[in-house]
Amino acid sequence: MKTQILFLLIWSFVTSSPLPAHGLQKSHEAVRDTNTLGHLLKTGKFYGHARSYWSATLNQKRLTDYYAWGVGAGIGYQTPKFLHRFQLGISSFFIFNLTSSDLARPDPATSMVNRYEIGLFDIERPNNHQDLGRLEEFYMKAHLGKKSILTLGRQIPETPFINPQDGRMSPTLTEGAVLDINEWQHLKLHGQYLWRISPRSTTRWFGVGESMGMYPVGVGIDGVPSQYKGQTDADFMAIFGATYRKKKWEIQLWDTYVDNVLNTFFVKTEWRSQAKGGTNWLAGAQFTMQNTTGNGGNPNALIAYAQPGSGSVVISTRVGQESARFDWQMNATHIGSDGRYLMPREWGKEPFYTFMPRERNDGFGNLTAVTLNTRFKPEKRIDLTLSGGYFHLPDVRNFQLNKYGMPSYSQVNLGLTYQFDQYLKGLSAFLLVVRKDKTGRVYGNDRFVFNKVNMVHANLILNYRF
């Protein structure tokens, strides 16, 4: 409620204006008004977003099915430049649970709770059907040099591992200082220092360490449920990125340092051929190296997020073709067997080429994945996507390399996007249907099946942006 009141007060201040005087005085004051704060604020940019999200999960027989329908709306404002280089921005978003299953009630057969639909609202209060508000953006920008920008405050992150992961009602957000240096033709530099995070599917802001464990925590390497939630000591996150683009090539280098927990180095190289007949080839390769820093989050290894001295290596590759109407890509990823690849699911989706919506590779070692992605555009407003993948994981009882008890599985995603036009320009509809089936052993234990495999998951999402 305090967030809503603050936002309404700012909105009222921005949109209000004194009544004009009459006659000649009116025209003189109109000229003088162009040099006032009120005039500056009125020439800023307003933007808004409304969203309807229906979700349903059908598990195999004897296991609980779920559904939920959430709606939300938000509005934001960014000032024009003042003092030649500064801008202010603010936005807020409110969510309502129109109808849903009892998302807090565990499945009787497994004692496990819902996984997908709970994320539409507040995972800390799954049955709250009232308005769930969050002040999302609240920042100041300073324009430096020709194109460089320093942004301070709450903002939407865009890095390979820390990103909006906008697959629910509202995205992951961060609070910190972000510097983008764009002074050269082919090279861009990026730096971040973050001290607070508001993960997707939450309404509060958390310290970096505090945010780890808001989502399911899996098990430790000893097979006992992880206990790092609320026990992780990490004060900040520092990120550095460099992107080089020239002609057919793009090279990205990123380093993500989580204080006292992890350091993740990521490099990506992509090549695109010159188009012939409207079609071009593409190829890409990624290399990720991860190591524990400090004590992994806690001096007690039994409740640390990452084990001291541990690490992992991930290699991901892609080859494919692109055209105006049809794309395809073949992808492969391998995570080494030396340890688990770790990245808090609260912070963003992974950048690997084999990523498929509604599943992650976080928490696994000795993983091999292959996927095929296709996109068909029969006309300018319609996109059809069909993706299939096979993910070979360690045995569910191999706790050292399988954090979430996920069996090997196959996955098929079917997506349909429609962009409305004319009077409804800005409105889009997206239908996603996901099928996952186990290919590995589950030893008759439904805890390795429920909300993981042998299931169908469907989303119908409407977005309106202006």
- pLDDT tier at 41 (50, 70, 90 boundaries)? confident
What is the C-alpha to C-alpha distance for residues 91 and 4, in angstroms, rounded to an integer?
A: 11
Q: pLDDT tens digit string along 277-301?
A: 999 999 999 999 999 999 999 999 8
Tokens linked to 424: 């409804």
- 455 and 59 in contact (C-beta within 8 Å)? yes
pLDDT, mean of residues 373-401: 97
- Res 32: pLDDT: 53
Q: What integer is the mean pLDDT of 84-104?
A: 95
- Are 136 and 93 within 8 A, CB to CB? yes
Cα–Cα nearest to 256, from 230, 285, 288, 299 = 288
Give me the pLDDT at residue 33, please: 62
Higher per-residue pLDDT: 204 or 10: 204
Q: Per residue in 2-39, pLDDT tens?
A: 444 444 444 444 444 444 444 444 444 444 566 777 77
- Integer angstrom CA distances of residue 163 from 199, 200, 209, 333, 385: 10, 10, 17, 20, 22
- Does residue 100 surpass a pLDDT of 70? yes
User: Which has the minimum average pLDDT: 35-39, 84-88, 278-282, 318-322?
Assistant: 35-39
Q: What is residue 9's predicted lDDT score, i.e. its pLDDT? A: 45
The residue assigned the tokens 């280089």 is: 85
Please state the domain extents for the chain. Answer: 1-43, 44-465
pLDDT at 185 over 50: yes
Across the range 411-434, mean pLDDT stands at: 97
pLDDT of residue 126: 87
- The mean pLDDT of 323-337, rounded to a whole number, is 97
What is the share, in percent, of the chain residues with pLDDT greater than 70?
A: 93
Q: What is the 3-state secondary structure (H, E, C) of the chain?
A: CHHHHHHHHHHHHHHCCCCCCCHHHHHHHHHHHCCCHHHHHHCCEEEEEEEEEEEEEECCCCCCCEEEEEEEEEEEEECCCECCCEEEEEEEEEEEEEEECCCCCCCCCCCCCCCCHHHHCCCCCCCCCCCEEEEEEEEEEEEECCCEEEEEEEECCCCCCCCCCCCCCCCCEEEEEEEEECCCCCEEEEEEEEEEEECCCCCCCEECCCCCCCCCCCECCCCCECCCCCCCCCCCEEEEEEEEEECCEEEEEEEEEECCCEEEEEEEEEEECCCECCEEEEEEEEEEEEEECCCCCCCCHHHCCCCCCCEEEEEEEEEEEEECCEEEEEEEEEECCCCCECCCCCCCCCCCCCCCCCCCCCCECCEEEEEEEEEEEEECCEEEEEEEEEEECCCCCCCCCECCCCCCEEEEEEEEEEECCHHHCCEEEEEEEEEEEECCCCCCCHHHCCCCCCEEEEEEEEEEEC
On the question of pLDDT at 40 being above 80, the answer is no
Q: What are 428-459's pLDDT values in tens digits?
A: 999 999 999 999 999 999 999 999 999 999 99
pLDDT value, residue 361: 94
pLDDT value for 180: 98
Instruction: For the chain, give the mean pLDDT.
Output: 92
Q: Topology of domain 44-465, per CATH?
A: Porin (2.40.160)
Lowest mean pLDDT segment, chosen from 97-111, 117-131, 221-235, 265-279: 117-131
Which range (27-41, 98-112, 214-228, 349-363) has the least confidence?
27-41
From residue 332, how far is each of 353, 385, 386 by CA, in Å? 7, 19, 17
In one letter, which amino acid is 337? S
Residue 425 has pLDDT above 50, yes or no: yes
Task: List b or e across 320-335, with b for residues whose CB sees 16 or more CB atoms inside 10 angstroms.
Answer: bebeeeebebebbbbb
Give bridge partners of residue 46 from the DSSP assignment.
Answer: 77
User: What integer pLDDT is reported at residue 166 of this predicted model?
Assistant: 78
Higher pLDDT, 25 or 316: 316
Percent of the chain clearing pLDDT 90 (strictly above): 86
Residue 130 has what pLDDT?
A: 76
Residue that is written with structure tokens 């307003």 in the block:
46
